Amino acid sequence: MNKIFKVIFNHTTQTWMAVSELAKGHCKSSSNSTVEVSDKSEVKGKSFAGIKTIAITSAVMMAVVVPNAFAIQAGSGEIKHKSGQGTAIAGGEATGDSNAIAIGIENNKQWGETRAKAAAPGAIAIGTGSNVTTRIGVALGYRASATGSNNGDQDFPSVAVGGYTNANGLEATAVGGRSQADGRGTASFGANATANGEGATAVGFLSKATAAGGTAIGTNTTAGTGVAIGQYASASNGRTDKASVAVGVKATANGELTTAIGTGATAKSGETVALGANATAGAPWQNHATAIGANSKAVHQGGVALGFYSETERAGTSTNFTVKNDSGNNINTDNFAGAAKTGDPSDSNDITRVVSVGNGTMKRQIINVAAGRVSATSTDAINGSQLYQAMKHTGFNIQQNGSTKSRINNDGLVNFTNGDYTTAVVTDGDNSSSVKMNVVTQNISTDAKGMTNVSGTSGLTTAKTVSDAINNALNNSSFLLKVNDDAGEKITRNSSINIAQGKNINVERNGSTITVKTVDNPKFTQVDVDKKLNVAAGGSLTVSGTSNLRGNILLGGEGKNITFQSGSTVHMGNNKITNVNNGTAKTDAVNKGQLDDVSKVANAANTTANTANSTANAANTTANAANTTANAANTTANTANTTANAANTTANTALNKVNQGWNINTGKAEGGNVEGNSSTNVQMGDTVKVIAGKNLNITQSGKDITLSVNNSPNFTSITTSNGATIGGDLTVNGTTKTKDLNVTNNATVNNLTATNGTITNLNSTNGTITNLNSTNGTITNLNSTNGTITN
């Protein structure tokens, strides 16, 4: 063990004494006095007071300095030594080995004033109530205690020096009244000093090192696992006691890995640092703060306060710093690299931390800053020269139609000047200016004809003025609608054209399409057919008046019959009927051959045959005329339909595109014909002429146009699908072959004449055929069933 005592000769008391190695004293005298105590000697029956002081002192000194030293054994007033037990003096109890020494009398056992006990090899216990249980340990003082493991042969002595001191642990050391050293290698020096935990050290009055490895130096210092140096310094935290450091009077470092250096410096929470008198770092739940400088405060998570009275705050985002990008949109601090995120920094690692070099009233410049990197992602500090250069070159470009014309820097200007039809007005505001360009305007008017005019000083005009002019031009626009070169009618933008249907004409509208067509059963006063009249299969030709058939007429055909309704009369007009088959039935017509066979009747029969022939010719002529009339009516209807379609197109175009003019064209519906159907544009003010074609009548009454087929149409051919009714005469010219001619229901066919033609198979059922005439023609096969054929 460490020898912290030495032996010197006290000339005053004339004894050898154990004193501190640091104590000063005289050198040993040249005289030599030797006290030798035999290990077998024993002093008995003498009072303790009578024993020479030099003997006790020498025994203690020899036990401390020289191993295996022993004293004379005695009772409470004696010195007693026993080999293997040690030396007991003044009531002490030595139970260790021959080197153990116990000095101390028992006084009041219930108060703990027991006898001194040296209960380990080489142990030394001096003082009432002192106790040593650790090998070669030392307890020196009233109720001093040095305890620890006593196993094995290794020496790990503990030392307790001072009243009520306690060194409990291997190699523990407690020096000073009521000092405590609890744990292996602990050390407490000073009255009421306490060192708890392996390797803990407390130095100073009321100093405390309360955790393993902790160091507390100074009056009333407290340390956990950290280091506290200075009066009232504290490096302790009840939750962790982990490696905190406090240096300075009343310095406090509470929390894991905290550091407080300086008088009154305080480091709270985890991993905070406070350097400087009264510096404060950290707060509840605010860790990793650093305060450097007297009275500095860093009380926000991760914050740094640099300098005297500097204080941290929460990070803030500037709401006033807004610029415009090239698209005219606002850019604020959120668009910058490293933009601040506000909030309680203890809530998230994303919240921005701050560095403060001043406080709300005291500011500092940061000088001698190197130029930071300038890029879209740089978060470096920018010095004044960089800002100067940025401001010097801050500005914008002015372009003209995409070509750069000028560069305006922050000290430049833009001048707004008056132009043609414009006056520049600039108004200054609060950190802003407004530019207004007053424009000289000119009015646009429209007259009743839709013509536009300008008035006033030359200038620009507004969209409303242009719109009003266009609307007025539209409202005043019109065109002239004429029929058959008449005066015509003015059709304005909001007017309409009414196409009315006349006799034998139907007019229909489907959306923007107008269809004009003839009725299915037209009625005409007269129909002229230039070529032929066709009656479709299943149809019939009905003639109410007289049918005048001119030229060759062919009626019927193979397997066909010409039938006259009952009560009809066929007038042959003194014409012959030729090619009449021999009659067999009672009601059959007979031919000339049959008449010749009867000598008296032959002439009469011949006359009758001629009459029949004339009648047949007349019937043939009538049928051909009817066919021609029907074909002509059909052609007329198709022509009317085509004309109506053209009118429809004209009307719709006029209504939909009145401002741009309109196109007129012709088309056809079922059964219609059209020629020259190319589109023709009609502008406002043009005249549209509706011309009545062949067989077509046009009647105009103001804006109303009536289309009709004239009463005496002339057709090349007429085809009917369901019969034709002829109120007057039916005249057929030329060589036309018709279908069967039937005269029924008491109808009468008069004056049926075949001139250079042939009437065959002329049948009269309950009808009358009179005046059959055949001039250079032939009438054959006259049949009358309950009818009459005369002349």
What tens digit of pLDDT does each residue of 50-64 get? Answer: 333 434 444 444 444
pLDDT > 80? residue 561: no
pLDDT for position 626: 45
pLDDT in tens, 591-604: 777 777 765 554 55
pLDDT > 70? residue 248: yes
Question: With bands split at pLDDT 50, 70 and 90, how would you rate the model's confidence at 46?
Answer: very low
Structure tokens belonging to residue 778: 């032939």
Strand partners, 366: none
pLDDT greater at residue 47 or residue 505: 505
Question: With bands split at pLDDT 50, 70 and 90, how would you rate the model's confidence at 723?
Answer: low
pLDDT for position 644: 42
Distance of CA 228 to the CA centre of its chain: 60
Going by C-beta distance under 8 Å and a sequence separation of 6 or more, which residues neighbour residue 110?
none
* Rounded CA separation 16/25 (Å): 12
pLDDT greater at residue 753 or residue 415: 415
What is the greatest pairwise CA distance in the chain? 225
Closest by CA to 316, choosing from 360, 353, 286, is 353
* Rounded CA separation 72/49 (Å): 14
Is this prediction's pTM over 0.85?
no
pLDDT for position 138: 96
Structure tokens belonging to residue 492: 């304005």
From 5-9, 258-262, 368-372, 397-401, the region with the lowest mean pLDDT: 5-9
From 182-196, 364-378, 673-687, the region with the lowest mean pLDDT: 673-687
Closest by CA to 95, choosing from 103, 86, 104, is 86
From 130-144, 316-330, 479-493, 608-622, the region with the lowest mean pLDDT: 608-622
Where is mean pLDDT largest: 68-82, 154-168, 523-537? 154-168
Question: With bands split at pLDDT 50, 70 and 90, how would you rate the model's confidence at 663?
Answer: low
Closest by CA to 106, choosing from 55, 61, 70, 142, is 142
Closest by CA to 698, choosing from 437, 483, 468, 507, is 483
- Assess contact for 118 and 93: CB atoms under 8 A: yes
pLDDT for position 649: 54
Cα distances (angstroms) measured from residue 136 to each of 83, 90, 132:
17, 20, 9
Question: With bands split at pLDDT 50, 70 and 90, how would you rate the model's confidence at 295?
Answer: very high
Strand partners, 422: 419, 439
Structure tokens belonging to residue 540: 């019939």
pLDDT > 80? residue 414: yes
pLDDT > 90? residue 182: yes
pLDDT greater at residue 270 or residue 762: 270
pLDDT greater at residue 299 or residue 411: 299
pLDDT for position 566: 72
pLDDT for position 35: 35
* Rounded CA separation 524/506 (Å): 15
Cα distances (angstroms) measured from residue 364 to each of 91, 313, 699:
75, 16, 105
pLDDT greater at residue 391 or residue 346: 391
Average pLDDT, the chain: 74
pLDDT for position 110: 77
Closest by CA to 772, choosing from 744, 791, 748, is 791
pLDDT for position 6: 53
pLDDT > 50? residue 632: no
pLDDT for position 37: 37
From 67-76, 237-246, 726-735, the region with the lowest mean pLDDT: 67-76
- Assess contact for 4 and 44: CB atoms under 8 A: no
From 117-131, 412-426, 716-730, the region with the lowest mean pLDDT: 716-730
pLDDT for position 776: 61
pLDDT for position 30: 40
Give the dihedral sign, CA 497/498/503/506.
positive
pLDDT for position 246: 93
